Amino acid sequence: MIRTVLLYGVSLALLVAGLKYVEYRFLVRDLSLEFYIGMVALIFTGLGIWAGPRLMRRKVVVVRPDFVLDSQALERLGISKREHEVLKLMALGHSNQEIGEKLFVSVNTVKTHMANLFIKLEASRRTQAVQRAKELGLIP
Of 110, 106, 57, 58, which Cα lies nearest the Cα of 88? 110
| pLDDT confidence of residue 116 | 93
Radius of gyration from C-alpha coordinates of the chain: 26
Domains and CATH numbers, the chain: 2-55 (no CATH), 71-135 (1.10.10.10)
> In three state form, how does the secondary structure of 48-74 look?
HHHHHHHHCCCCCCCCCCCCCCCHHHH
The residue count for the chain? 140
pLDDT value for 30: 64
Q: Looking at residue 61, what is its pLDDT? A: 62
Name the least confident of 21-25, 49-53, 103-107, 131-135: 21-25
Is 102 in contact with 94 (CB distance < 8 Å)?
yes
Of 137 and 54, the structure prediction assigns the larger pLDDT to: 137
Three-state DSSP class for 118?
helix
H or E, element range at 77? helix 71-77
For the chain, what is the mean pLDDT?
Answer: 84
Judge whether 80 and 29 are in contact, CB under 8 Å: no
Predicted model pTM: 0.55
Per-residue pLDDT band at 41 (split at 50, 70, 90): confident
pLDDT over 80 (residue 125): yes
pLDDT band at 25 (very low <50, low <70, confident <90, very high): low
Q: pLDDT digits over 88-102, tens only?
A: 999 988 999 999 999
Provide the pLDDT confidence category of residue 115 given band limits of 50, 70 and 90: very high
The pLDDT value given to residue 87: 93
Residue type, 121: L
